[in-house]
């Protein structure tokens, strides 16, 4: 994967005051030496007989962050097109400024060998994110090789991988990657304790083999598999028996190690993903943790936790930081596995709790700056904890 946010340069780019560099990083299998000992990556080789904690973690360079976009076919395409359109407008303005300064109309400088230069406009594929977010459930596996709609848009992993043409042979230096370099971040729903029991007892072995067949043939450069995502979300039903969730998680990982070829297994990373909100009484993160042998990355959701009017069940920044600190103790790279600022951007349509807070604090919460209300705070958190991947859901969640 190549598209990253590099915190060593400038923050991020959507308003004109931010900049999102597209640099030449790809998904690489990183080692302890270049990742400040965050992970236990003691080998540069991956085989079916090597446990996940000894597998390279694919963590990006320090102070850099992969960007993934989801979660439906339309929203991802809209994101890429919007970024491309914005970049072309900036390109035109820059060229007009340069032309006026130099009193020339020439904007296309070509070297003697025919290579194009920095004066060339960026290409569409320059804005393909590092990975695409998709969702499926183990019982049916819809949305991977065939499209489906859960009510929030078309889910279609292969459709996303094939949405953008390959330009790997192009001369344009802005165009250094093809869509085949993109990865997938797959949310794999297990249907609570009942589903986990079916996994552990072997009743879903046929579906697991189908999942492995998909991974085996997928053109994705890396696949981040969020097994039983948001395990601590009460509405998903894993909290009834955390031990069964652990057993199901371990079985899926073990089946992948046994059933995938070395080449396919090398591109799969197993993600343990917390909701980032208060745990139900008697539950702890440790009770849900499958163990270092089975977890490559730790994920956390960020939605309304930054908003002071967030309901108790929605969590706070402290709940998110508890997960980040847990990951640090386990020496695992972190991804923001799901995120979108619902409930805090369009304040005219905000909840009663939000309106009540705003009425009492009219000058305290960036009322005229929706970027700083959420996006800026997420970027600050990424910088503070050197978060390795940011998965952003680019859709109007509240309208769905």
Give the tens place of pLDDT for each residue, 204-237: 999 999 999 999 999 999 999 999 999 999 999 9
| pLDDT (0 to 100) of residue 54 | 55
For the cut 70, the answer to whether the pLDDT of residue 136 exceeds it is yes
Give the tens place of pLDDT for each residue, 327-356: 999 999 999 999 998 877 777 777 787 778
| pLDDT (0 to 100) of residue 80 | 92
Q: Which range (172-181, 192-201, 301-310, 329-338) has the least confidence?
A: 172-181
Over residues 25-51, the mean pLDDT reads: 39
**Angle in degrees, CA 391, 397, 400, rounded to 5:** 140
For the cut 80, the answer to whether the pLDDT of residue 282 exceeds it is yes
Rounded CA gap, 230 and 115, in Å? 48
For the cut 70, the answer to whether the pLDDT of residue 42 exceeds it is no
Torsion sign (Cα): 130, 133, 138, 143: negative
Query: Percentage of the chain with pLDDT > 90?
Result: 56
**pLDDT higher at 81 or 364:** 81
**Is-contact 391 134, C-beta < 8 A?**
no
**Distances from the Cα of 26 to the Cαs of 81, 338, 383, in angstroms?**
22, 22, 20
**pLDDT higher at 369 or 232:** 232
User: Is residue 169 very low, low, confident or very high in pLDDT (cuts 50, 70, 90)?
Assistant: very low
Question: Other C-beta atoms within 10 Å of 104: how many?
Answer: 9
Give the tens place of pLDDT for each residue, 285-337: 999 999 999 999 999 999 999 988 888 888 999 999 999 999 999 999 999 99
For the cut 80, the answer to whether the pLDDT of residue 170 exceeds it is no
Over residues 267-287, the mean pLDDT reads: 96
**pLDDT higher at 134 or 30:** 134
| pLDDT (0 to 100) of residue 340 | 92
For the cut 60, the answer to whether the pLDDT of residue 191 exceeds it is yes
pTM reported for the whole predicted model = 0.83
Rounded CA gap, 125 and 167, in Å? 8
Smallest CA-to-CA distance from 320 within 298, 342, 287 is with 298
| pLDDT (0 to 100) of residue 113 | 45
Rounded CA gap, 142 and 146, in Å? 6
- Paired tokens of 66: 């992969």
Q: How many CA atoms lie within 13 A of 347 on its CB side?
A: 18
3-state secondary structure the chain: CCCEEECCCCCCCCCCCCCCCCCCCCCCCCCHHHCCCCCCCCCCCCCCCCCHHHCCCCCCCCCEEEEEEECCHHHHHHHHHHHHHHHHHHHHHHHHHHHHHHCCCCCCCECCCCCECCCCCCCHHHHCCCEEEEEEECCCCCCCCCCEECCCCEECHHHHHCCCCCCCCCCCCCCCCCHHHCEEEEEEECCHHHHHHHHHCCCCHHHHHHHHHHHHHCCCCCEEEEECCCCCCHHHCCCCCHHHHHHHHHHHHHHHHHHCCHHHHHCEEEEEEECCCCCCCCCCHHHHCCCCCCCCEEEEEECCCCCCCCCHHHCCHHHHHHHHHHHHHHCCCEEEEEECCCCCCCHHHCCHHHHHHHHHCCCCCCCCCHHHHHHHHHHHHHHHHCCCEEEEECCCHHHC
For the cut 60, the answer to whether the pLDDT of residue 12 exceeds it is no
Under 8 Å CB-to-CB from 165, ≥6 apart: which residues?
Answer: 125, 178, 179
Smallest CA-to-CA distance from 144 within 215, 196, 95 is with 215
Q: Which range (151-160, 166-175, 227-236, 292-301) has the least confidence?
A: 166-175
Crossing angle of helices 317-330/376-385, nearest 10°? 20
For the cut 50, the answer to whether the pLDDT of residue 124 exceeds it is yes
- Paired tokens of 331: 């020496």
Query: In which residue are the tokens 């073990």 written?
Result: 254
Q: What's the distance, CA 77 to chain centroid?
A: 16
**Is-contact 314 304, C-beta < 8 A?**
yes
Mean pLDDT computed over every residue of the chain: 81
**Distances from the Cα of 171 to the Cαs of 49, 116, 119, 209, in angstroms?**
41, 7, 13, 41
| pLDDT (0 to 100) of residue 228 | 98
For the cut 50, the answer to whether the pLDDT of residue 180 exceeds it is no
| pLDDT (0 to 100) of residue 359 | 78
User: Is residue 160 very low, low, confident or very high in pLDDT (cuts 50, 70, 90)?
Assistant: very high
| pLDDT (0 to 100) of residue 107 | 46
| pLDDT (0 to 100) of residue 375 | 92
Q: Pairing relation of β-strands 268-274 and 334-339?
A: unpaired
| pLDDT (0 to 100) of residue 34 | 40
| pLDDT (0 to 100) of residue 297 | 98
Residue 345: is it exposed, middle or buried by C-beta count within 10 angstroms (0-12/13-18/19+)? middle
Q: What's the distance, CA 380 to chain centroid?
A: 17
- Paired tokens of 300: 């956390």
């Amino acid at each position: 994967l190549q598209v990253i946010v590099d915190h060593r340069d400038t923050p991020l780019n959507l308003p004109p005051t931010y900049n999102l560099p597209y640099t030449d990083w790809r998904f690489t299998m990183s080692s302890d030496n270049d990742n400040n000992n965050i992970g236990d990556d003691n080998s540069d080789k991956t085989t079916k007989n090597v446990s996940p904690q000894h597998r390279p973690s694919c963590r990006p360079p320090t102070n850099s962050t992969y960007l993934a976009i989801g979660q439906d076919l339309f929203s991802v395409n809209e994101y890429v097109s919007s970024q491309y359109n914005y970049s072309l407008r900036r390109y035109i303005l820059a060229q007009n400024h340069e032309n006026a300064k130099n009193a020339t109309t020439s904007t296309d400088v070509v070297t003697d060998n025919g290579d194009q230069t920095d004066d060339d406009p960026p290409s569409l594929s320059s804005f393909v994110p590092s990975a695409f977010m998709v969702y499926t459930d183990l019982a049916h596996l819809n949305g991977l090789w065939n499209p489906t709609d859960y009510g929030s848009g078309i889910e279609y992993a292969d459709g996303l991988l094939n949405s953008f043409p390959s330009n790997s042979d192009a001369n344009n230096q802005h165009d250094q990657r093809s869509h085949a370099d993109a990865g997938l971040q797959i949310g794999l729903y297990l249907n609570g304790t009942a589903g986990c029991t079916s996994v552990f007892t072997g009743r879903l072995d046929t579906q697991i083999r189908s999942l492995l067949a998909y991974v085996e043939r997928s053109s994705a450069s890396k696949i981040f598999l969020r097994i039983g995502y948001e395990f601590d979300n009460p509405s998903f039903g894993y909290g009834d028996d955390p031990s069964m969730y652990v057993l199901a998680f371990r079985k899926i990982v073990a089946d992948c190690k046994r059933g995938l070829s070395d080449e396919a297994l090398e591109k799969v990373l197993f993600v343990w993903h917390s909701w980032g909100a208060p745990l139900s009484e008697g539950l702890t993160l440790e009770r849900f943790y499958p163990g270092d042998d089975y977890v490559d990355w730790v994920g956390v959701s960020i939605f309304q936790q930054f908003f002071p009017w967030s309901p108790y069940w929605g969590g706070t920044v402290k709940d998110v930081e508890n997960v980040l600190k847990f990951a640090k103790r386990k020496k695992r790279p972190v991804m923001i596995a799901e995120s979108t600022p619902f409930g805090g951007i369009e304040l005219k349509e905000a909840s009663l709790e939000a309106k009540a807070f705003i009425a009492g604090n009219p000058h305290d919460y960036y009322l005229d700056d929706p970027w700083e209300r959420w996006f800026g705070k997420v970027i600050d958190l990424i910088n503070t904890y050197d978060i390795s991947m940011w998965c952003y859901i680019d859709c109007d969640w509240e309208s769905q």
